[in-house]
């Protein structure tokens, strides 16, 4: 039974909360006391073992005002990711500490539409103020004069007001920006975003606007000297790709990404640490300091790694936040998933050349598109030194993944799934099933607009892909209606072209010899995807076989693996084991049909 009314958070000394009802006699046996660790405080909380994780989060929302979707709870090194599972399913007991990690984006997306029909989106850190937004608009050559007036609910807002304050307490508010003489801007919150419409009353203004009457001066210096004091350039900065195999050539897009990120660092722009997420993630700026170029995630700042900046405890046994993952292996997986996201036009570096290249001197580089079928942002393994990262023990070189920053209008978490095109959902589904992704929540899919105005989904955060076991596979898209639609012919064709053996060889060529357990997971997930698609199953039907319904109940794919393990003789080859998996899988699929 889940009962929000029976869960409570009690105040710590000095805390304003005063809610800790005595346990009713009929439940007194079942009550346990947990402690919620957040922002340096420890808040006691009484829960029933039969409470769901969702109801625990609801109580935290009730007492602390933090929405459930912005909460991530970690206990004993494991994320309590399944909201419908019970406190007892996760084995929580009296005195356990729940680490509460907030999932709040630092970036506010602002959509601007001008009278000239120009449209653009920009990201503003929530800690910025209204004056900064005005300057950003002026910088975009919107020809808006500096003396704009901003009204919120009819009252003027000063330039010093923070974006965070405006978006936090005024979810239904409409902000009007009046630009003297020429244009009027309306800003309406749309989900987590603001949409600004700029309305110019006279044709004259439109002409002036198009002609570029007030051309965009570079305000970046003044913005920064005013809002974020520039720190002196650090001479000991560097960033370079880690290339294990000298035969690998980086594609120009990745080379450019590294170069421009280096320029941004050399120009004195400090990495901006994201306050969202469980690990350390840094937004890297361009030379002007006004545009995000890439996201750097160092391995030593991953959840439960030694320098994790979120206060998550160090993992004693090396297991990551998700079952079947290891601390410090996230960055290599981020890169591997990008490499294995083969373009539709042909497999990435897949040809007989790869094998020849091991013995001969054929140099492999990316052939064709850098963007794959699922659109994983270009990602590369790098080493980077900068004092702006978390260095409790002194500044040192960090290894991690560097991923292209993708412009977006928020994530799938901010909107209902009905607007997502079927094909966009299917491309993510194919990627996640292949990679046995243990962390596909809606917040890890960014939403953007393509050139044709169509919604495009961008998968990010692949540090928990290619795990050692299937135990924690989770796919949020499973519950979206698009997952119950059949794959298109194109997608079936793409799935048919997949080959786990070639994928393993490709990763090896790029320098990552997968642990045998992870290679086995990739082989089995690819096998299931191919067999399922061939039989005409939907992403839902296949994905459902890979996910546990509750923490305790094994998924179909786990049962298949277990049955195969019980069937083969000890010492059998991997090929014999996979043959056995294949026939059990065929039987299970037949039963399903």
Q: Which residues bind ligand ATP (CB under 6 A)?
A: 105, 274, 276-279, 281, 295, 377, 403-406, 408, 439, 443-444, 446, 460-461, 463
Distance of closest approach, residue 408 Cβ to ligand ATP, in angstroms: 6
Nearest-approach distance from CB 103 to ligand ATP, in angstroms:
7
Handedness of CA 138, 142, 146, 148 (dihedral sign): negative
User: C-beta of 310: minimal distance to ligand ATP in Å?
Assistant: 8
| DSSP 8-class letter at 40 | T
Which residue number places its CB atom closest to ligand ATP?
277
Torsion-angle region of residue 433: left (phi > 0), alpha (psi -120 to 50) or beta? alpha
Q: Please, how many CA atoms are within 13 Å of residue 468, restricted to the half-sphere of its CB?
A: 12
CA separation (Å) from 164 to 109, 203, 282, 484? 11, 35, 20, 38
- Do the bridges between strand 282-285 and strand 41-48 make them parallel or antiparallel, or are there none, so unpaired? unpaired
- Residue 308 or 538 having the CB closest to ligand ATP: 308
| Token duo for residue 220 | 């970046």
Minimum separation from the CB atom of position 312 to ligand ATP (A): 10
Q: Cβ 70 to ligand ATP, closest distance in Å?
A: 11
Tell the burial category of 186 from Cβ atoms under 10 Å away from its Cβ (0-12, 13-18, 19+): middle
Q: Where are the beta strands (DSSP E) in 155-227?
A: 155-156, 175-179, 183-190, 193-199
Q: Return d(Cα 559, Cα 546) in angstroms, integer.
A: 10
State which residue, 148 or 379, has the beta carbon closest to ligand ATP: 379
Q: How far apart are CA 450 and CA 406, in angstroms?
A: 12
How crowded is the C-beta side of 512, counted as CA atoms within 13 Å?
Answer: 23
Taking the complex as a whole, the smallest distance from the CB of residue 464 to ligand ATP amounts, in Å, to 7
Tokens of 30: 């079942």
Query: Please, which residue, 461 or 502, has the CB nearer to ligand ATP?
Result: 461
Closest CB 118 distance from ligand ATP, rounded Å? 23
What pairing do the DSSP bridges indicate for beta strands 238-241 and 379-385?
Answer: antiparallel
Q: Tell me whether residue 109 or residue 422 sits nearer to ligand ATP (CB atom).
A: 109
Q: What pairs with residue 9 in β-bridges?
A: 45
Residue (69 or 508) nearer to ligand ATP, CB: 69
Measured from the CB atom, the residue of 386 and 440 that comes closer to ligand ATP is: 440
Find tokens 């009204």 and name the residue. Answer: 151
DSSP assignments along 461-491, one per residue: --TT-S-SSSTT--BGGGGSGGGGSPPPHHH
Nearer to ligand ATP, 372 or 463 (CB): 463
Q: How far is the CB of 501 from ligand ATP (least distance, A)?
A: 29
Handedness of CA 158, 163, 167, 169 (dihedral sign): negative
Q: Which helix (H) or strand (E) holds 227?
A: helix 220-227
Q: Which CB sits closer to ligand ATP, 281 or 483?
A: 281
| Closest separation in Å from C-beta 547 to ligand ATP | 18
The answer to whether 367 and 349 have CB atoms below 8 angstroms apart is yes
Q: Which lies closer to ligand ATP via its Cβ, residue 442 or residue 592?
A: 442
């Amino acid at each position: 039974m889940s009962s929000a009314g029976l869960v409570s958070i009690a105040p710590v000394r000095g805390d304003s909360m005063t809610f800790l009802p005595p346990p009713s006699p009929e439940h007194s046996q079942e009550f346990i006391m947990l402690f919620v660790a957040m922002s340096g405080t420890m808040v006691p909380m009484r829960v029933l073992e039969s409470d769901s994780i969702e109801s625990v989060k609801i109580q935290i929302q009730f007492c602390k005002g933090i929405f459930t979707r912005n909460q991530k709870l970690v206990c004993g090194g494991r994320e309590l990711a399944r909201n419908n599972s019970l406190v007892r399913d996760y084995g929580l007991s009296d005195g356990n500490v729940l680490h509460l990690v907030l999932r709040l984006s630092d970036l506010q997306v602002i959509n601007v539409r001008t009278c000239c029909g120009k449209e653009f989106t920009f990201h503003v850190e929530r800690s910025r103020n209204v004056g900064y937004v005005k300057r950003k608009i002026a910088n975009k050559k919107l020809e808006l004069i500096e003396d704009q007036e901003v009204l919120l609910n009819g009252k003027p807002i000063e330039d010093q007001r923070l974006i965070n304050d405006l978006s936090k307490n005024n979810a239904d508010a409409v902000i009007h920006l009046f630009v003297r003489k020429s244009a009027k801007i309306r800003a309406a919150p749309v989900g987590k975003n603001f949409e600004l419409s700029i309305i110019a009353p006279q044709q004259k203004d439109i002409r002036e606007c198009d002609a570029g009457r007030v051309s965009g001066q570079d305000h970046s210096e003044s913005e920064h000297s005013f809002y974020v004091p520039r720190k002196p350039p650090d001479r000991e900065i560097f960033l370079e790709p880690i290339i294990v195999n000298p035969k690998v050539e980086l594609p120009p897009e990745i080379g450019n990404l590294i170069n421009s990120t280096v320029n941004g660092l050399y120009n004195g722009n400090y990495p901006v640490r994201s306050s969202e997420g469980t690990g350390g993630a840094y937004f890297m700026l361009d030379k002007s300091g006004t545009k995000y170029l890439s996201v750097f995630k160092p391995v030593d700042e991953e959840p439960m790694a030694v320098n994790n900046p979120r206060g998550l405890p160090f993992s004693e046994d090396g297991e990551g936040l998700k079952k079947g993952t290891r601390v410090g292996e996230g960055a290599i997986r981020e890169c591997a998933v990008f490499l294995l996201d083969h373009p539709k036009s042909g497999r990435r570096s897949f040809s007989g050349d790869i094998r020849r290249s091991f013995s001969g001197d054929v140099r492999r580089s990316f052939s064709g598109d850098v963007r794959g079928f699922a659109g994983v942002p270009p990602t590369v393994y790098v080493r980077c030194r900068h004092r702006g990262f978390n260095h409790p023990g002194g500044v040192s070189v960090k290894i991690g993944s560097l991923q292209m920053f993708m412009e977006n209008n928020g994530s799938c978490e901010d909107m209902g799934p009905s607007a997502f095109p079927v094909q966009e959902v299917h491309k993510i589904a194919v990627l996640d099933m292949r990679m046995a992704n243990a962390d596909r929540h809606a917040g890890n899919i960014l939403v953007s607009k393509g050139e044709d105005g169509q919604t495009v989904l961008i998968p990010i955060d692949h540090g928990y892909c290619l795990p050692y076991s299937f135990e924690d596979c989770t796919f949020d898209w499973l519950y979206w209606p698009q997952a119950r639609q059949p794959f298109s012919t194109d997608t079936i064709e793409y799935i048919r072209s997949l080959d786990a053996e070639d994928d393993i060889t490709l990763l090896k060529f790029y320098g990552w010899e997968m642990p045998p357990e992870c290679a086995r997971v990739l082989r089995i997930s690819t096998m299931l995807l191919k067999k399922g698609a061939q039989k005409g199953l939907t992403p839902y039907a296949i994905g459902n076989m890979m996910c546990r319904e509750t923490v305790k109940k094994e998924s179909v794919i786990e049962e298949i693996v277990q049955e195969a393990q019980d069937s083969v003789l000890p010492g059998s080859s991997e090929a014999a084991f996979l043959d056995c998996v294949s026939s059990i899988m065929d039987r299970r699929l037949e039963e399903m049909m």
